Structure 1
Amino acid sequence: MRLSPGRLLPPWAGTLAAKAAAFITGMCCALAALLGVLVHVSVTHQTVDQARDRALQRLAEVTEDYEAGDTLRRGAGLDPPGLPAPLRKMAAGGERGTMVAEHRGRPTMWAAGPADGGRALAVGIDYSQQARTIDGLDRAILWSSALAIGATLLVGSFAVTRVTRRLHTTARVARRITAGDLDARVGDPRTKDADRPQDEVAAVAAALDSMAASLQGKLLAEQRFTADVAHELRTPLTGLHAAAELLPPGRPTELVRDRVAALRTLTEDLLEISRLDTGRERLDAETEQLGPLAERVVRAAGAAGAGTTEVRVVRDLSVETDRRRLERVLGNLVANAHRHGRAPVVLTVDGPVVTVRDHGDGYPEYLLAHGPQRFRTEGGSKGHGLGLTIALGQAEVLGARLEFANAPDGGAVATLTLPQRP
């Protein structure tokens, strides 16, 4: 059974880089808008105030000329056409004021004050230059804001991408460790140089490397312990087996021989587990016909007291594989089906796919979720021992895929998919 190391994230959707880019863009836009509004308001107020002061000064001069009976200057007049109605009303009420309005297609700064007969004495000053200045300033603010946002986004994205690339590397190594590659390390350069400043990503990488090294050390120690125990048990068990053969016939002798045989089988299984754990097992491949091989496995299982197994060959196939290891895998699956399931047990060959099914209660949930675990029991029931663990390990040596599932109508189903080599 091969467990998925985790769903890989897409390159951008929902990643830190995309969120950081969106955040940087939003902050740049907000800052550019704020600065643009402040500059626009400040310059506009300054420009309008200057134009207003000029218009009021001209109005004062025109008022002096009007009171002195002199001819009014150009651009001044009583109730001139184009004077905004609100400003005319204000002047008729005895107050002075200014206003910008369109006159003859051009922006004009008007200044008006009261005159005899409830009329308005007004002066108009061309406001085109000031309006163009403000418009040019607004365009400059927009362009400079766009350039600043683009430059900041590029620089920010580059900086964030460097961080996210390191995070992706760390996540990739973590997935490799989850998949069983305990030699995988992040090896962040910042963790190797003590004088280099350490950031949070380097701390995470260092912690992951330290965890992997510690886990690898503990697993290696466990593997050595298992191998040492199995080797140490082998010698006394051999002597015990020889001594049991010398006992006189009888029921006690049968019980002793049975228990000694069980201990020898367990010891051999432990030795096999330790060899598989080292990952140094090599194939002795040859061409095998799956149908006859399945028949041999079933006959051997029946001779060992595993019970009757039906063999169905849907489509026979010749494969390049290690016969001994393949027989070990199928034999363990058949034995487990008889030991923990119920009859009928069916072994089906369909091309490179071999299934072993029983009609019992099915595999427990923990086995379906995490794969076989050594000697694990649940709810007081008998555990699955080492048989399925050895089958899974030998299947990996063969390059095959071993999957465990429960049939919809009940029963456990083990599916072995063999690689097809040219």
Structure 2
Amino acid sequence: MVDEAVPRVRRRRSVRWRFTSLYAGLFLASGVVMLAVVTAFAGGTVDVAPGPGGGSAIEGAPAAALERIASLEHQLASARSQQTRQLLLGSAVGLVVMGGLSLLLGWYAAGRVLRPLRAMTTATRRISADNLHERLAVDGPHDELRDLGDTIDGLLARLEGSFAAQRRFVADASHELRTPLATLRAAVDVTLAKPGPLPERTAVLAGRVRAGLDQIDTLLDGLLTLARAQHELPDPEAVPLGRLAADALAARGLPAARTLDDGAPEARVRGNRTLLRRLVENLVDNAVVHNEPDGWVSVRVHADASAVELVVENGGKVLTDDQTAVLTRPFRRGGPGRTGGNGSGLGLAIVAAVTEAHDGRLDLHPREGGGLRVVVTLPRTPAPAGEPA
């Protein structure tokens, strides 16, 4: 049974077909007009002559001559009628044949006209946030299509500048804020390290300030990682994703014995080891922090000939599709009921950015019994020579 909530996909009409129909329709219309004109002129030349014995009497003419004249007039009229019918029939057949040819010629002509537009569409689809430096560079005569290509190139240039400025601002601001944070942290540590007893209120306040500084430092580190993942992919290498998952689980005291499928520990993806480790750690931390008391966490790695799949699941409260759809946006925590007020809201945003930088796919699915299922699929790459595949 078809779900009524799923919108029906309307069948798209091709511009090329519309141009072809227009060309053929105009040709057929002009052909019909021409055939009507031919019919009008040809019909005006037909004179119906009387048959034998029906000719008008010519004074003094022999009867045999009159009969012969009438017979010749009738034969001439019949020949003209036959010629007119053949002309109209030939014109109709020619119109039908040329109508079919007009479809083929219109299809070809429309394809030639739309070829630059198709090239621009393909190039525009290929350009994303990671390769905004590319341009359409439409050549040819200075017509409307070239103006459109130049306009799109100008838009891409402005987008490239905007994206670069945004990333530079995030990276520079995060880097510059580390210095005053380090100064504040040092001041708090010096205060706590002074000899002699401190007032209880001072110690509590210093502890809260130190915790806040640590949280800000974590946030800045997340912003730097996010900007780095969105900007470039430094030092790519063949990284075993299964080993990163096992290390992340071991570092958090979680059992890793049943997290990996056969052959998955050595399944490698090509990318930056630091960013991929951050991806795995963020997913594991997200599953641990955003959980229910005494909950469970499952981490599995599947591998086939072309891809490596990392699946992280956890228990928790029931999430809706709308809540899940916005979890990869920066600073979206899914509500305090889900997060408990912890975290910076950048964990899954960093996961999404790192996955996109590695040409992968990220899927988030709410579990029916509560919790979240996250699937990261990355292209598999062969292991370096001398190491197991």
Does the alignment reach a TM-score above 0.5?
yes
Count of residue pairs brought into register by the alignment: 350
1:315-354 maps to which residues of 2 (within 5 A)?
315-316=261-262, 317=264, 318-321=266-269, 323-342=273-292, 343-351=295-303, 352-354=308-310
Which is worse superposed, 254-263 or 142-151? 142-151
Structure 1 segments unaligned to the other structure (5+ residues):
1-8, 78-107, 110-122, 191-195, 303-307
Structure 2 segments unaligned to the other structure (5+ residues):
1-8, 194-202, 383-389
Give the letter aligned to residue 315 of structure 1.
D
Please state if 1:395 is matched with 2:355. Answer: yes
Shift in CA distance, 264/75, structure 1 to aligned 2, threshold 3 Å = same
Give the letter aligned to residue 300 of structure 1.
A
Q: Deviations over 1:375-407 (max 9, x none)?
A: 246788879721112222333455543322222
2:66 is matched with 73
1:10-409 maps to which residues of 2 (within 5 A)?
14-46=13-45, 48-49=46-47, 51-52=48-49, 55=50, 61-62=56-57, 64=59, 73-74=66-67, 124-142=74-92, 144-145=94-95, 148-149=98-99, 152-153=102-103, 156-177=106-127, 180-189=130-139, 197-199=142-144, 201-248=145-192, 250-286=203-239, 288=240, 290=242, 293-301=244-252, 312-313=258-259, 315-316=261-262, 317=264, 318-321=266-269, 323-342=273-292, 343-351=295-303, 352-361=308-317, 365=321, 369=325, 372-376=328-332, 385-409=345-369
Whether the 8 Å CA contact 1:362–1:410 is kept in 2: the answer is yes
Give the letter aligned to residue 267 of structure 2.
V
Give the letter aligned to residue 372 of structure 1.
T
2:369 and 2:34 mapped to 1: Cα distance? Answer: 70
Percent identity, please: 25
Shift in CA distance, 345/237, structure 1 to aligned 2, threshold 3 Å = same
Whether the 8 Å CA contact 2:259–2:298 is kept in 1: the answer is no
Whether the 8 Å CA contact 1:355–1:414 is kept in 2: the answer is yes
Q: Deviations over 1:58-102 (max 9, x none)?
A: 95543656xx9956733589xxxxxxxxxxxxxxxxxxxxxxxxx
Shift of 1:264: 1.4
Whether the 8 Å CA contact 1:313–1:350 is kept in 2: the answer is no
Q: TM-score when scaled to structure 1?
A: 0.69
Instruction: Look up the SS of the partner of 1:315 in the other structure.
Output: coil
Instruction: Look up the SS of the partner of 1:209 in the other structure.
Output: helix
Shift of 1:213: 1.6
Structure number with the higher strand fraction is 1
2:146 and 2:161 mapped to 1: Cα distance? Answer: 22
1:147 and 1:45 mapped to 2: Cα distance? Answer: 27
Instruction: Look up the SS of the partner of 2:379 in the other structure.
Output: coil
Whether the 8 Å CA contact 2:246–2:259 is kept in 1: the answer is no
Shift of 1:315: 1.5
Whether the 8 Å CA contact 2:361–2:377 is kept in 1: the answer is yes
Whether the 8 Å CA contact 1:341–1:411 is kept in 2: the answer is yes
Whether the 8 Å CA contact 1:368–1:405 is kept in 2: the answer is yes
Whether the 8 Å CA contact 1:392–1:402 is kept in 2: the answer is yes
Shift of 1:324: 4.0
1:72 and 1:296 mapped to 2: Cα distance? Answer: 122
Q: Deviations over 1:301-354 (max 9, x none)?
A: 45xxxxx68873351421235654433212101222233343322222344432
1:176 and 1:384 mapped to 2: Cα distance? Answer: 33
The alignment's C-alpha RMSD in Å is 3.8
Give the letter aligned to residue 320 of structure 1.
R
2:137 and 2:105 mapped to 1: Cα distance? Answer: 26
2:210 and 2:104 mapped to 1: Cα distance? Answer: 77
Shift in CA distance, 175/397, structure 1 to aligned 2, threshold 3 Å = closer
1:410 is matched with 370
Give the letter aligned to residue 221 of structure 1.
A
Shift of 1:299: 3.5
Larger Rg: 1
